[in-house]
Amino acid sequence: MMEVAVFGAGRIGKIHAGNVVRQPGVKLRYVIDVDAAAAQALAAQHGAQVATAEAALADKAVGAVVIGSSTDTHADLIQRSAAAGKAIFCEKPVDLSVERARTCAEAVERAGVTCMIGFQRRFDPTFAALKERLAAGEIGDPEMLVVTSRDPGAPPVEYLKRSGGIFRDMLIHDFDIFRWILDDDAATVYATGSVLTDPAVGTVGDVDCTAVTIRTRRGRLAQINTTRRAAYGYDQRFEVLGSKGMLQAGNHRPTEVTAATGTHVSQDLPEHFFLERYRAAYAIELAHFFDAIAHGKPVRTTIGDGVKALELADAATTSWREKRIVEL
Amino acid sequence: MMEVAVFGAGRIGKIHAGNVVRQPGVKLRYVIDVDAAAAQALAAQHGAQVATAEAALADKAVGAVVIGSSTDTHADLIQRSAAAGKAIFCEKPVDLSVERARTCAEAVERAGVTCMIGFQRRFDPTFAALKERLAAGEIGDPEMLVVTSRDPGAPPVEYLKRSGGIFRDMLIHDFDIFRWILDDDAATVYATGSVLTDPAVGTVGDVDCTAVTIRTRRGRLAQINTTRRAAYGYDQRFEVLGSKGMLQAGNHRPTEVTAATGTHVSQDLPEHFFLERYRAAYAIELAHFFDAIAHGKPVRTTIGDGVKALELADAATTSWREKRIVEL
Amino acid sequence: MMEVAVFGAGRIGKIHAGNVVRQPGVKLRYVIDVDAAAAQALAAQHGAQVATAEAALADKAVGAVVIGSSTDTHADLIQRSAAAGKAIFCEKPVDLSVERARTCAEAVERAGVTCMIGFQRRFDPTFAALKERLAAGEIGDPEMLVVTSRDPGAPPVEYLKRSGGIFRDMLIHDFDIFRWILDDDAATVYATGSVLTDPAVGTVGDVDCTAVTIRTRRGRLAQINTTRRAAYGYDQRFEVLGSKGMLQAGNHRPTEVTAATGTHVSQDLPEHFFLERYRAAYAIELAHFFDAIAHGKPVRTTIGDGVKALELADAATTSWREKRIVEL
Amino acid sequence: MMEVAVFGAGRIGKIHAGNVVRQPGVKLRYVIDVDAAAAQALAAQHGAQVATAEAALADKAVGAVVIGSSTDTHADLIQRSAAAGKAIFCEKPVDLSVERARTCAEAVERAGVTCMIGFQRRFDPTFAALKERLAAGEIGDPEMLVVTSRDPGAPPVEYLKRSGGIFRDMLIHDFDIFRWILDDDAATVYATGSVLTDPAVGTVGDVDCTAVTIRTRRGRLAQINTTRRAAYGYDQRFEVLGSKGMLQAGNHRPTEVTAATGTHVSQDLPEHFFLERYRAAYAIELAHFFDAIAHGKPVRTTIGDGVKALELADAATTSWREKRIVEL
């Protein structure tokens, strides 16, 4: 039985804790959070204990940690967990600083521990099936990628201030999708953005809509469009054009009801937001993590992937700020 | 903490056991099956014990039973469980004999226990949403119902022999959908059927394709078409025409991938069979059962519903065999 | 250059006249209608002349007639046209009386002229493609057919009085689709119906919703559901289940715009009614008619098909009225 | 009766000639083409005469010209037709040189004649309906536009050599769509491209895949992705994100047949290429042209629009060649 410590008892911590307890051979032992009440509630729900980070990391029975606390704690917890010899699952991003993320990656490598970054989209049933079919050659060689990634609404401006900006906070997932799907490296990045949904976003030096173009070393082309506010909900689509066809990943709907009335034929809006849309993905990624540990297999989304996505986010941020094409 | 005994450790018993252990405040205590190895394996998986029916029903700590054993055991177990004062969840059908089913219903009523029949389709997210929107008046008064209900392949002939025939074995779900959606009583039933997929089906006095028409007391019209073998998989659709529009329940797909190649644009086949298609429904119906018990609320699918669906199955069987319109 | 006389300057006559003038090698010579002003207007639009039936049929230069006048004139005009040696295109139905229709068919045969009945649905691009793929074996042997055929609104009660009833007036198209798609003969017909949309329909001895089941000699099953009033428009779908899969014919939409707003994702309603939905079919059927004449080839929808569809309409009417299964 | 001269008896000339003869009050008088046989065949088909450009333009009875000859003849014919006082319909582009196009526009203005450029996509039923709904405020203010514009296959390299490059030859339509839909001016253009489908394209200094981003003066963002070769056919989609929702224009299919087999559920590929996809649009744009002339109304796609689209094509070409963001 592997014992696990979960850092973070907020929205995502709860998801991960719920998935930890569903793994066979895995036991949720500790919950750690600066908010003592939240930690207590989550621990009680799953028969776990509240602990400090020190205590949890010092407990030899703890084989793995799941880090779902705030972004500014990730790097530190990764390094301490690696030093303590724990297998690590950490939410994206590794850190807002690429340099710090690289340092973490080195620490992980030195420690020789498993470290998986939570790019849960790669585990989404639709996205994973698309990737598998692409890899099987169903549409030949990939040539172009179009990613549509839109949130239903912006987080509070207070959050945005500390978010690292839209490219690091939101598009980091899309940059990872780009790398995973095209399996190619970026040669140049061009990014532009606007404040179109809420002027407050501009007051903290950020944008709420972006258009990014990545050209790969092999000449493949990728375009990403994002917004913080799609009135119809969480829009998570991408399509790959290949030499023999196209694969598209569409949105998921809560139900398959179609209504025809006097004015139109309609279907449900997409799943509301990431907790709904990626519910299955969150479960599958944690199962993958524990399965990899149990069988000594590599994880699908490494800390190296986390660093690479950050590098793209940095390049995009520079391109937007300096109004120029950035070479990588 | 309510303790529960699960009868049946086969395919459906495993599903129910898995859902029992996910209910808060509920503990799976006993597994009962004539196949000792199957019972042992399922009990071990969930930390429960193997028991005899007698022992399980005699245990005062057991508050509820979940009956997922073979059809010919349902009536007896319902009656004994009712006599023992247990809350009962039983898979459809109550029994192949309407008379016996009525006797069971009376026993349940006398005992004053909760008895829910597993018409899981009513708990499917798509079907339940449709029903809710219909009840809210979105398409006015319902006028016509078209049900398409097709299995991906026929069970073994050995099974068919003891199944009570396609109308009792397969259409019983569709008859329940009819009653639930139109909220009206059948005035006449016309049923016809054919052996089109496998001559062996005919050798046991059954058919593999049916076409049923029900006319309700208020003059509404329902048509049901079924087959034991749809080459493209499990097809579970229905549509309701109302005075102000139409609501359609479509199939669920495993993924939302669309592929465009040199010959066509394609999507996934429907979810393979009932275990996949109704995975969510099975979980929701058990949660509903335990929630109803906990709060003293009525269950949505009563043993009375089980009797009514059987009456329609009997009428359809008679209509098919005697080639006549049957009045109810 | 073949000269043509068009009977009927109403809604359907105008459609046919417009298609006649688009045929290469064909000239619209005469328009005949009891409404002199309508005849004059249509003739003027296409550079044709108004004439009486006598004059038009007596003109040796007229090689073909297109009959789009009211139903009660069809049989008489077919017989006179056949006697005059003209090739005949006539709107459905041949007549409301099967006997009269058979007499017409005999007259046509004796005269040895081409006579095509306007079952335009067989020429609809979607329906024709489905039939072609079915015939090519894409889904193996057909086993079941489900036809959904719904009008957007009922015609005036005055029209219904003289219409022959819903089975002859509206379902005649569906009976033809049944024969064409399954390529099999009806063994039994069961029909029921209700007055659900407008009580006035009942006052003239008709119904506005029907449910029909046809069992073929080879045991195939067909179900047809119709209504005079679908709030969302003209609904013209059918699906064929075969031993290797299913083919579905869906509705056509005016545009391919999809809108996603705060409440739902929506698309256009189906094409409004038959003039829009079958615009292409009307053009293609007339081209087929003149092509068949020009090359001495048989037409796809013969007067024999018209008689057969009427026989089914009669059987359905009897089944509904007498509440019994009718054998053919 | 307005008499018309059609320049060009090739693929597009035939389409336009066929639409000219369908206009009420319009007569096709002359066909002009350097290929005498082609001119003769087209003229004969429609009862017109072959003529030289001089003769046709000198004929006072000719009120309008339709220019569908090769691109290098457009500017000259526009100028001569304007000088002769004819109303002008000319295929895009006005010319490959923006300066020359501007000169033409000035000549048209001086002459005071109607001059419409064939941006037929604005007349496509789907695109036009989307624009109308956008203008009606259905999704609030437009914020982002994503255009997918893919040909089924590249033209011969010989054609590409004289085409002006992919941005002028193919994307000119997309630039016009951008201007029309967002109703805003470009502030910056970034374009990149690759040779991915056929190395021969590179040998003539062109690319076959492009990714373009336009930022408008109001900060709106548009992304265009194109390829010369989509294995699944002609892909013509765009979507507009607005403050209150999204409108998407999807592909048109030849039929609405859906097939479900043992492997997938499939629908038709999109309409094969522009002649099929925009058949209705070509007819509607010519009707619009003659209607505008008849009623002295402005045309929807002016020579000014032609110049503006060319300016964007030039900017994109520069951006791609010089690897820099171009300001307008």
pLDDT above 70: percentage of residues in chain D: 100
Q: Would you tell me which residues 99-128 of chain D have a C-beta closer than 8 angstroms to some C-beta of chain C? A: 125-126
**Token pair of A21 as six digits:** 């307890």
Q: Answer yes or no: do B211 and C215 touch at CB < 8 A.
A: yes
Q: Is B264 on the interface with D (CB under 8 A)?
A: yes
Q: Where are the beta strands (DSSP E) in chain C?
A: 2-7, 26-32, 49-50, 62-67, 87-91, 115-118, 142-150, 186-194, 209-216, 221-227, 235-242, 245-249, 257-260, 265-267, 326-327
CB count within 10 Å of CB C325 equals: 19
Instruction: Return d(Cα B250, Cα B136) in angstroms, integer.
Output: 20
pLDDT at A318 over 90: yes
Q: Which residues of C touch B235 (CB under 8 A)?
A: 246
**Token pair of D140 as six digits:** 């609030």
Q: Answer yes or no: do C262 and D252 touch at CB < 8 A.
A: no
Q: Is B228 on the interface with C (CB under 8 A)?
A: no
Q: Answer yes or no: do A261 and B139 touch at CB < 8 A.
A: yes
**Residues pairing with C148 in the sheet:** C225, C237
pLDDT at D224: 98
Please tell me whether residue D292 adopts helix, strand or coil conformation: helix
Q: Could you give the angle at which helices B98-111 and B71-83 cross, rounded to 10 degrees?
A: 20
**H helices, E strands: number in chain B:** 13, 15
Please tell me whether residue A154 adopts helix, strand or coil conformation: coil
Give the chain C residue nearest D252 (alpha carbons): C256
Q: For C237-295, how does the pLDDT look when each residue is reduced to its tens digit (9 = 90+)?
A: 999 999 999 999 999 999 999 999 999 999 999 999 999 999 999 999 999 999 999 99
Instruction: Return d(Cα B93, Cα B117) in angstroms, integer.
Output: 8
Q: What is the mean pLDDT of residues B60-79?
A: 97
Q: Is C262 on the interface with A (CB under 8 A)?
A: yes
Chains in contact with D, where contact means 3 or more Cβ–Cβ distances below 8 Å, are: A, B, C
Contacts A–D by Cβ distance under 8 A: 117
pLDDT above 70: percentage of residues in chain B: 100
- For A227, which of D143, D210, D225 is closest by C-beta distance? D143
Q: What is the mean pLDDT of chain A?
A: 97
- Separation in Å, CA D196 to CA A242, B259, D212, D234: 10, 20, 16, 18
- For B213, which of C213, C227, C241 is closest by C-beta distance? C213
Q: Is D136 on the interface with C (CB under 8 A)?
A: no
Please tell me whether residue B281 adopts helix, strand or coil conformation: helix
**CA of residue B265 relative to chain centroid, distance:** 34
pLDDT at A1: 86
Task: Provide Rg for chain C, Cα atoms.
Answer: 20
Residues in chain A: 328
Instruction: Return d(Cα C102, Cα C79) in angstroms, integer.
Output: 11
Residue type, D25: G
pLDDT at C35 over 90: yes
| CB of D215 closer than 8 Å to CB of A195 | no
- For A126, which of B130, B255, B261 is closest by C-beta distance? B255
CB count within 10 Å of CB B302 equals: 17
| CB of D244 closer than 8 Å to CB of D204 | no
Q: Would you tell me which residues 147-166 of chain B have a C-beta closer than 8 angstroms to some C-beta of chain C? A: 148, 150
Q: Answer yes or no: do B259 and A139 touch at CB < 8 A.
A: yes
Write phi, then psi, for A86 (nearest 5 degrees): -85, 150
Q: What is the mean pLDDT of chain B?
A: 97
Instruction: Return d(Cα B281, Cα B274) in angstroms, integer.
Output: 10
pTM for this one? 0.96
Instruction: Return d(Cα A125, Cα B253) in angstroms, integer.
Output: 11
Give the chain C residue nearest D45 (alpha carbons): C24
- For B264, which of D230, D262, D269 is closest by C-beta distance? D269
CB count within 10 Å of CB D175 equals: 28
Q: For B29-40, how does the pLDDT look when each residue is reduced to its tens digit (9 = 90+)?
A: 999 999 999 999
Confidence of residue A324 (pLDDT cuts 50, 70, 90): very high
Q: Answer yes or no: do A267 and C269 touch at CB < 8 A.
A: no
Please tell me whether residue D51 adopts helix, strand or coil conformation: coil
Q: For B82-104, how does the pLDDT look when each residue is reduced to its tens digit (9 = 90+)?
A: 999 999 999 999 999 999 999 99
Instruction: Return d(Cα B15, Cα B68) in angstroms, integer.
Output: 9
Strands A326-327 and A186-194: antiparallel
Minimum distance, in Å, between the CA of residue A161 and any CA atom of chain D: 22
CB count within 10 Å of CB C216 equals: 21
- Smallest CA-to-CA distance from A48 within A78, A27, A79 is with A27
**Token pair of D232 as six digits:** 């699944």
Chains in contact with B, where contact means 3 or more Cβ–Cβ distances below 8 Å, are: A, C, D
Class of residue C200 by CB neighbours under 10 A (exposed 0-12, middle 13-18, buried 19+): middle
**CA of residue B68 relative to chain centroid, distance:** 11
Confidence of residue C236 (pLDDT cuts 50, 70, 90): very high
Q: For D160-197, how does the pLDDT look when each residue is reduced to its tens digit (9 = 90+)?
A: 999 999 999 999 999 999 999 999 999 999 999 999 99
| CB of D270 closer than 8 Å to CB of D236 | yes
Confidence of residue B1 (pLDDT cuts 50, 70, 90): confident
Confidence of residue C209 (pLDDT cuts 50, 70, 90): very high
Instruction: Return d(Cα B252, Cα A253) in angstroms, integer.
Output: 10
Q: Which residues of A touch C232 (CB under 8 A)?
A: 260-262, 265
Q: Answer yes or no: do C269 and A269 touch at CB < 8 A.
A: no
- For D257, which of C126, C244, C256 is closest by C-beta distance? C126
- For D245, which of A223, A231, A242 is closest by C-beta distance? A231
* Residue A24, preceding peptide bond in cis (omega within 30° of 0): no
Minimum distance, in Å, between the CA of residue A268 and any CA atom of chain D: 14
Q: Is B257 on the interface with D (CB under 8 A)?
A: no
Instruction: Return d(Cα B307, Cα B95) in angstroms, integer.
Output: 9
Q: For B237-291, how does the pLDDT look when each residue is reduced to its tens digit (9 = 90+)?
A: 999 999 999 999 999 999 999 999 999 999 999 999 999 999 999 999 999 999 9
pLDDT at B115 over 90: yes
Q: Answer yes or no: do C140 and B231 touch at CB < 8 A.
A: yes
Q: Which of B232, B236, B237, B248 should be substituted to probe chain D, the one whose Cβ sees the most D Cβ atoms within 10 Å?
A: B232
Q: Which residues of C touch A263 (CB under 8 A)?
A: 269
pLDDT at A224 over 90: yes
Mean pLDDT of residues grouped by 10 in chain D (328 residues)? 96 96 94 97 96 97 97 97 98 96 97 97 98 98 98 94 95 98 97 96 97 98 98 98 98 98 97 96 98 96 97 98 97
**DSSP states of A306-327:** HHHHHHHHHHHHHHHHHTS-EE
Q: Which residues of A touch C259 (CB under 8 A)?
A: 264
Q: Answer yes or no: do A195 and D220 touch at CB < 8 A.
A: no
Residue D280: half-sphere exposure toward Cβ, Cα within 13 Å: 13
Q: What is the mean pLDDT of residues A177-185?
A: 97
pLDDT above 90: percentage of residues in chain C: 99
Q: Is A246 on the interface with B (CB under 8 A)?
A: yes
Taking the alpha carbons of B253, B255, B257, B262 in that order, is the dihedral positive or negative? negative
Contacts of C263 (CB under 8 A, 6+ apart): A269
Q: Which residues of D touch A220 (CB under 8 A)?
A: 194, 196
Q: Is A267 on the interface with C (CB under 8 A)?
A: yes
Q: For B139-190, how does the pLDDT look when each residue is reduced to its tens digit (9 = 90+)?
A: 999 999 999 999 999 999 999 999 999 999 999 999 999 999 999 999 999 9
Q: For D23-58, how does the pLDDT look when each residue is reduced to its tens digit (9 = 90+)?
A: 989 999 999 999 999 999 999 999 999 999 999 999
Instruction: Return d(Cα A189, Cα A206) in angstroms, integer.
Output: 18
Write phi, then psi, for D253 (nearest 5 degrees): -115, 150
Q: Answer yes or no: do C245 and B227 touch at CB < 8 A.
A: no
User: The sheet that has B62-67: what strands, in order across it?
Assistant: B49-50, B26-32, B2-7, B62-67, B87-91, B115-118
Minimum distance, in Å, between the CA of residue C197 and any CA atom of chain A: 15
pLDDT at A190: 98
Q: For A76-131, how does the pLDDT look when each residue is reduced to its tens digit (9 = 90+)?
A: 999 999 999 999 999 999 999 999 999 999 999 999 999 999 999 999 999 999 99
Q: Which of C229, C234, C266 should be substituted to probe chain A, the one whose Cβ sees the most A Cβ atoms within 10 Å?
A: C266
Lookup result for tokens 């399922």: B42
Confidence of residue C1 (pLDDT cuts 50, 70, 90): confident
CA dihedral D185→D191→D195→D198, nearest 10 degrees, is: 0
